[in-house]
């Protein structure tokens, strides 16, 4: 072992034992200081990260609250939970899109059969910003949260059915 060799060499050289011990103690203290510093550094980074995470979640919750405010829930209803809010929003958007589609269909029945062509993605939905294709779901309407018969004849009814109740069916 080189260390042993070195120490015995030092002894052989006549270095006093006391000096060696002092050196060892100093090294120990220095290492302890470094570790403490590292620990506080890690700690302060963690605290900062926690702070950011808390902030991030607050922003997420604020967005969720904003979403709750625009959803048509009766004010006396208990506040929707997070998962309920998301499901409700999904169904609400679906119902709105469906309403729009049916309204279009009534106004211009001749134009009705317009299955999305493979190239239709880009050219869709000049009608309304709420049209299905502009909801980020691609060329087709969001998949139905229930059977399509449910709102085939009464869009308003459908809206109520799908959006009036929290926990409306979501796939």
Which parts of this chain interact with DNA (CB under 7 A)? 45-54, 56-58, 61, 81-83
- Min dist CB 160 to DNA, Å, is 23
- Min dist CB 40 to DNA, Å, is 14
- Min dist CB 23 to DNA, Å, is 30
Q: Is residue 133 classed exposed, middle or buried when 0-12, 13-18 and 19+ CB atoms within 10 A define those classes? A: buried
- Which one, 71 or 102, has the nearer CB to DNA? 71
- Which one, 50 or 105, has the nearer CB to DNA? 50
- Which one, 41 or 127, has the nearer CB to DNA? 41
């Amino acid at each position: 072992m080189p260390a042993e060799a070195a120490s015995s060499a030092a002894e052989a050289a006549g270095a006093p034992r006391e000096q060696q011990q002092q050196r060892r103690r100093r090294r120990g203290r220095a290492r302890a200081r470094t570790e403490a510093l590292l620990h506080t550094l890690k700690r302060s980074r963690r605290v900062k990260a926690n702070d950011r995470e808390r902030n991030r979640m607050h922003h997420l919750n604020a967005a969720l609250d904003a979403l709750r405010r625009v959803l048509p829930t009766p004010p006396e209803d208990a506040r929707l939970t997070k998962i309920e809010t998301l499901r409700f929003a999904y169904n609400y958007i679906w119902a709105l899109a469906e309403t729009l589609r049916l309204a279009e269909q009534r106004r211009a029945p001749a134009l009705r059969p317009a299955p999305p062509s493979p190239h239709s993605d880009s050219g869709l939905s000049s009608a309304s910003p709420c049209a299905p294709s502009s909801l980020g779901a691609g060329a087709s309407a969001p998949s139905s949260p229930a059977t399509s018969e449910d709102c085939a004849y009464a869009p308003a009814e459908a809206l109520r059915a799908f959006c009036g109740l929290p926990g409306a069916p979501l796939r």
